[in-house]
Structure 1
Amino acid sequence: MKKIRILQIVRKSEGGIKKHLLSLVRLLDKNRYEVAVLCSFDEKTQEYLKRLGIAVYNVGIGDGLSLKKDYRAIRFVQKAIYEFKPDIVHMHGAKASFVGRIACFAMPVKTVVTVHNFANYDNMNFYKKKLLLSLTKVLDKKTHQFIAVSKALKEDLVVNQKIEKNKIKVVYNCIDTSFYEETTLNLKEKFNLPQDSFIVGSIARLIPAKGVQDLIKAASILKNINAYFFVAGDGPFKEELQKMIESLNLKDRFFLLGYRNDIPSFLRNLDLFVLPSHEEGFGISVIEALNEGISVIATKVGGIPEIIQDGVEGILVEKKNPEELANAIEKILKDEKLRKNMSVKGKESAKKYSCDKMTEQIQQIYEALKGR
């Protein structure tokens, strides 16, 4: 049987999109599919893909709109399509799907777009935004299939981008620890913390939309609680967040650890996981925390309420509300029975997010497209 050739296109990222793509290409049926990835991942990740037998095309796809850079990227994608000859081009994220779909516009390939996050035009001027929206409208009509990683994202595509419901399938992300390092991380020992203290943690790219600033403010409210706060992740907002930590006299209680590739080990140190995002397409770090039996507090945004039932696996709070967040943290830390109940419910709930299930659903989409 002739293999179906799939070209995956993704821009550089270190969060949920990257995790999703690596899980997918690792688990796709090698007897049925031949896969290539067009990306600008770091050298270590590209070598990992090549060891899986995947062809890698290294190209940078930048943020925003840049006629010169985007034209160069579009031409490179077209060259990769001519060379690899895919049956299906599967694009991940807004910018990769913008560049990729223009490149595919007049080519005899089927196109799939996975939407991982809500559209954000905050940093774009009026004319660029208008151009991008106009082009996206045309590209949406030509796209054969959309995948949304949450029901909330599907609803957003229907309401705000006017995409037909029957062109969108919801496929949840999965828990995949195979590409993490396993370490013997002991935060209490490493930071010389009291053994009877609580550890509250988060995993986030350090940008304003992830809401780490709200967690810092919540920590400043909780000065009488024997708790220490750790955030795994890096990003352009790090320096500003560090200044906030120091200005609130939290430098001995609140620590920014930077990027880490030992997330399961990090999570096992926690008594409580907090995701204070202002927007979130799905929230893969939440299911990673549930999988480790960690109670969760998260904002009720995007796809989060599809993962967390308020009061069952965790507590949901309003975004941008440090006082409510602080109250929820105090409630869980002071109630050991509640934490244990949430831990049990969370671990059970996490079983739903199987990588085999995710991959099978996407393979069904490929098969249906190939049959058209």
Structure 2
Amino acid sequence: MKKLIVGVTHPISTILLRGQLKFMSEHGFQVFLMADSSKNLDSFCKEENCTYIPIHIKREISLFNDIRTLFEVLSVLRKIRPDIVNFGTPKMGLIGMLASFFLKVQLRVYTCRGFRFETAEGLLRTLLIGMERLSGKCSTKVICISPSLCEQAIALNIFSREKICLINKGSSNGIDLNLFSINSIDLEKRKNILLHNNLVDSFVYGFVGRICEDKGIKELYEVFSRIHFFNKSSRLLLIGKIEDSLDKTFLSNLLSHAGVVYLGVIPKIELPTYFSIFNVFVLPTHREGFGNVLIEASAIGIPVITTTATGAKDAVRNGYNGILIPLNDIVELEKAMLRLQNNSEMRKKYANNGVMWAQNFKQELIWNGLLNIYNAL
């Protein structure tokens, strides 16, 4: 039985692995999950039929801690002697690739889930690019999770063209189309949400994701404020964690706006019901690895608006299931939001097409593609 170690930095990233580890276990692999310490991962690994390996790893750059983590990972790899490793997220990707390269693990897969350097500047940008290049050089295979991420990697000479691969049309773990389906909508709960938040007669723009500048929240708020000024029945429904880095004055204005409804973090299993409340889903993001949330919205039958940012543009067919706008273009963002608000036939067309489009990203397609890579060893 081949031994497979899959590693991510933060336990929250295991949401990108749900179902995948169990699938590999069912196909003959002894699977291990390596991540920062968390009690929640014991139950996750039990569900996924894999062995949890907790290690001490910090998300931010810290030379002393990172060297300690490298030796810890080296020790684990020497003990388990895996046939295959698959490390992703910048910090675990770099440390895991270095350790497995030193120990000559036969198949070393680096899963690139996006480029943090795209929104960084100066020395930090240079350092992040260097980390990605080193991770790529230590790997035997690099999985980029979207077509535009592949293109960016090649254009900037981040990874060797020969090592890069893309599974199907993209996404690191695919979309659970059993969950993200109109059949998953709790109609009674939906009714209660509408009533409780005074949304019954409103046109609702929805946003799901980290509430931070990288996701375009400032542009979205600026445009929505103008739309609401002329149409008091419009609402902006926000779901997600507010990042600490967000400007406090801006955050206060956002949350106190008469048209904004903030619902906090919602369990993933409940998201289909909340998605169904949106008339339009809007994600004016600055960068993505792949826009999973855009496919999730499409699968529920919600028209989407996003930018031509790396990763995001691969999740939308412009004029088919949504609208693509240029990055940081509030004029085009406003046009797109108003166009969909004022055109119910366009919304219906994009909604129907979105359900079909989402079929390209079902989880089994990604898992089988990954299995083929592992079995090629």
TM-score (norm 2): 0.87
Aligned to 1:247: 253
Residues 93, 115 of structure 1: 8 Å contact kept: yes
Aligned to 1:189: 195
Matched, 1:342 2:350: yes
Q: Residues of 2 paired with 1:137 and 1:277: CA distance?
A: 24
Aligned to 2:237: 230
Q: Residues of 2 paired with 1:130 and 1:342: CA distance?
A: 40
What displacement does 1:182 show?
Answer: 7.7
Unaligned regions of 5+ residues in structure 2, if any? none
Aligned to 2:297: 289
The counterpart of 1:198, out of the listed 187, 196, 203, is 203
Residues 90, 112 of structure 1: 8 Å contact kept: yes
Residues 208, 237 of structure 1: 8 Å contact kept: no
Residues 289, 295 of structure 1: 8 Å contact kept: yes
Residues 255, 262 of structure 2: 8 Å contact kept: no
Residues 165-180 of structure 1: matches in 2 within 5 Å? 165-171=161-167, 172-173=170-171, 174-176=174-176
Structure 1 residues 279, 157: CA separation in 2 closer, same or farther (over 3 Å shift)? same
Larger helix share, 1 or 2: 2
Q: Residues of 2 paired with 1:249 and 1:68: CA distance?
A: 39
Q: Residues of 2 paired with 1:79 and 1:98: CA distance?
A: 16
Structure 1 residues 318, 60: CA separation in 2 closer, same or farther (over 3 Å shift)? farther
Residues 220, 248 of structure 1: 8 Å contact kept: no
Aligned to 1:35: 31
Structure 1 residues 132, 311: CA separation in 2 closer, same or farther (over 3 Å shift)? closer
The counterpart of 1:63, out of the listed 54, 59, 63, is 59
Q: Residues of 1 paired with 2:303 and 2:368: CA distance?
A: 29
- Name the aligned partner's letter for residue 114 of structure 1: T
Report the more deviating stretch, 321-330 or 286-295.
321-330
**What secondary structure is seen at the aligned counterpart in 2 of 1:56?**
strand
Report the more deviating stretch, 34-43 or 195-204.
34-43
Matched, 1:259 2:265: yes
Q: Structure 1, residues 234-287: CA drift from partner, whole Å, max 9, x if none?
A: 14247636x436537952211232221122221111111011101122100000
What displacement does 1:61 show?
Answer: 2.6
Residues 245, 254 of structure 1: 8 Å contact kept: no
Matched, 1:111 2:112: no
Matched, 1:145 2:141: yes
Matched, 1:11 2:9: yes
The counterpart of 1:351, out of the listed 351, 356, 359, is 359
Aligned to 1:86: 82
Residues 114, 148 of structure 1: 8 Å contact kept: yes
Q: Residues of 2 paired with 1:190 and 1:7: CA distance?
A: 46
Structure 1 residues 250, 53: CA separation in 2 closer, same or farther (over 3 Å shift)? same
- Name the aligned partner's letter for residue 253 of structure 1: G
Q: Residues of 1 paired with 2:68 and 2:215: CA distance?
A: 31
- Name the aligned partner's letter for residue 51 of structure 1: E
Structure 1 residues 301, 123: CA separation in 2 closer, same or farther (over 3 Å shift)? closer
Aligned length, in residue pairs = 362
Structure 1 residues 254, 129: CA separation in 2 closer, same or farther (over 3 Å shift)? closer
Matched, 1:269 2:288: no
TM-score (norm 1): 0.88
Report the more deviating stretch, 204-213 or 34-43.
34-43
Report the more deviating stretch, 113-122 or 163-172.
113-122
Structure 1 residues 216, 46: CA separation in 2 closer, same or farther (over 3 Å shift)? farther
Structure 1 residues 61, 367: CA separation in 2 closer, same or farther (over 3 Å shift)? same
What displacement does 1:34 show?
Answer: 1.2
Q: Residues of 1 paired with 2:62 and 2:218: CA distance?
A: 31
Q: Residues of 1 paired with 2:40 and 2:185: CA distance?
A: 17
Q: Structure 1, residues 89-140: CA drift from partner, whole Å, max 9, x if none?
A: 10112221111112223213121001111241766873x7666655654543
Structure 1 residues 85, 179: CA separation in 2 closer, same or farther (over 3 Å shift)? farther
Q: Residues of 1 paired with 2:255 and 2:163: CA distance?
A: 51
Q: Percent identity?
A: 23
What displacement does 1:25 show?
Answer: 1.2
Q: Residues of 1 paired with 2:255 and 2:294: CA distance?
A: 28
Structure 1 residues 210, 248: CA separation in 2 closer, same or farther (over 3 Å shift)? closer
Q: Residues of 1 paired with 2:161 and 2:290: CA distance?
A: 19
Q: Residues of 2 paired with 1:244 and 1:129: CA distance?
A: 26
